[in-house]
Chain A
Amino acid sequence: DGGITQSPKYLFRKEGQNVTLSCEQNLNHDAMYWYRQDPGQGLRLIYYSQIVNDFQKGDIAEGYSVSREKKESFPLTVTSAQKNPTAFYLCASIPLSGGTEAFFGQGTRLTVV
């Protein structure tokens, strides 16, 4: 089945640790996005990438890092510099050529303990 897979679904992290969230898509989409969702604040853009080996900061990039070494993969690292990392993280992809509909993964709920 084609789609976007985020893993893990739930993640617990100790303060001061870096953690990497996985996002893989087999839709052959060009663009990939990472959003953070907090209650009452909607979806805020962290990073996005249009092509391999290139990515741009979104509105809340501080404390996060990404890579885009393969078209299918766009992992997000939440670093210890992120002061309030507990949130629901959503990955999305868009084909760009032929449409702008965003397809979302199931999300990863990160909790700092």
Chain B
Amino acid sequence: GQQVMQIPQYQHVQEGEDFTTYCNSSTTLSNIQWYKQRPGGHPVFLIQLVKSGEVKKQKRLTFQFGEAKKNSSLHITATQTTDVGTYFCAGPIQGAQKLVFGQGTRLTINP
């Protein structure tokens, strides 16, 4: 079954508010990836984290990988309407052959 859990399932914010989604794995991951899926679209790769405790930034997006390499988070500062979509984390299971996705967090924004 699913080994990568993601919360919350839904998040609605006012434009300008911050947003965070959390990802937890039952096993240690060699890396964690984050994807964004716009409504009606397909997932698009955002970033990959590899090192324990790693933090990466992309403009208003901050990604963290936990020290134990079992959890990760994506934080968006001052959301904009272009941030609308579903954010997924994904990790390789069973020797990196099986790429498993979290359930995703759907972000909606009130302009």
Q: With A42-B88, A56-B98 as given contacts, are A101 and B42 in contact (CB-CB < 8 Å)?
A: no
Q: B45 contacts A102, CB within 8 Å?
A: yes
Q: B103 contacts A101, CB within 8 Å?
A: no
Assess whether B85 is interfacial by the CB under 8 Å rule: no
Assess whether B97 is interfacial by the CB under 8 Å rule: yes
Assess whether B31 is interfacial by the CB under 8 Å rule: yes
Assess whether A33 is interfacial by the CB under 8 Å rule: yes
Given A40-B103, A94-B99, 16 other A-B contacts at CB below 8 A?
A33-B99, A42-B104, A45-B98, A45-B100, A45-B101, A48-B97, A48-B98, A59-B1, A90-B43, A100-B96, A100-B99, A101-B33, A101-B48, A102-B33, A102-B99, A107-B42
Query: Can you list 23 A-B contacts (CB < 8 A)?
Result: A31-B97, A33-B99, A42-B2, A42-B101, A42-B104, A43-B88, A43-B90, A43-B101, A44-B2, A44-B101, A48-B97, A48-B98, A56-B97, A59-B1, A92-B43, A100-B31, A100-B48, A101-B33, A101-B48, A102-B99, A104-B43, A105-B42, A107-B42
